[in-house]
Amino acid sequence: DVKVTQSSRYLVKRTGEKVFLECVQDMDHENMFWYRQDPGLGLRLIYFSYDVKMKEKGDIPEGYSVSREKKERFSLILESASTNQTSMYLCAAGSASYTFGSGTRLTVV
């Protein structure tokens, strides 16, 4: 099974900071995904990537960017964090079904 590791379980950042969320998979999957999870809204896709240096916008890309310089690593970047980006962020990898990381709970104050 693919293992997906997110670098932080909890983060607290200040409004306006640039925030990096890191995700690493330990197998050779082309597809990686970033979702945010909010109560009552479920999971919403932010960005995804099919391969190194390839990226596509999901349903809610505004305020975010991504980087995929190596196949195993997919980073989510909050260019200027805002309080409405306080959320649980989940990274996933896979094709027919996904393996998820444990999530990063980000609080922007």
Cα–Cα distances in Å, from 102 out to 13, 29, 58?
Answer: 19, 18, 21
Give, as ranges, the residues between 19 and 38 that touch another protein (CB under 8 A): 31, 33, 35
95 touches another protein (CB under 8 A): yes
Q: Which two tokens stand for residue 7?
A: 């670098």
8 touches another protein (CB under 8 A): no
Q: In angstroms, what is the minimal distance from the CB of 55 to another protein?
A: 12
The DSSP string of 36-58 is EEETTTEEEEEEEESSTT--EE-
40 touches another protein (CB under 8 A): yes
7 touches another protein (CB under 8 A): no
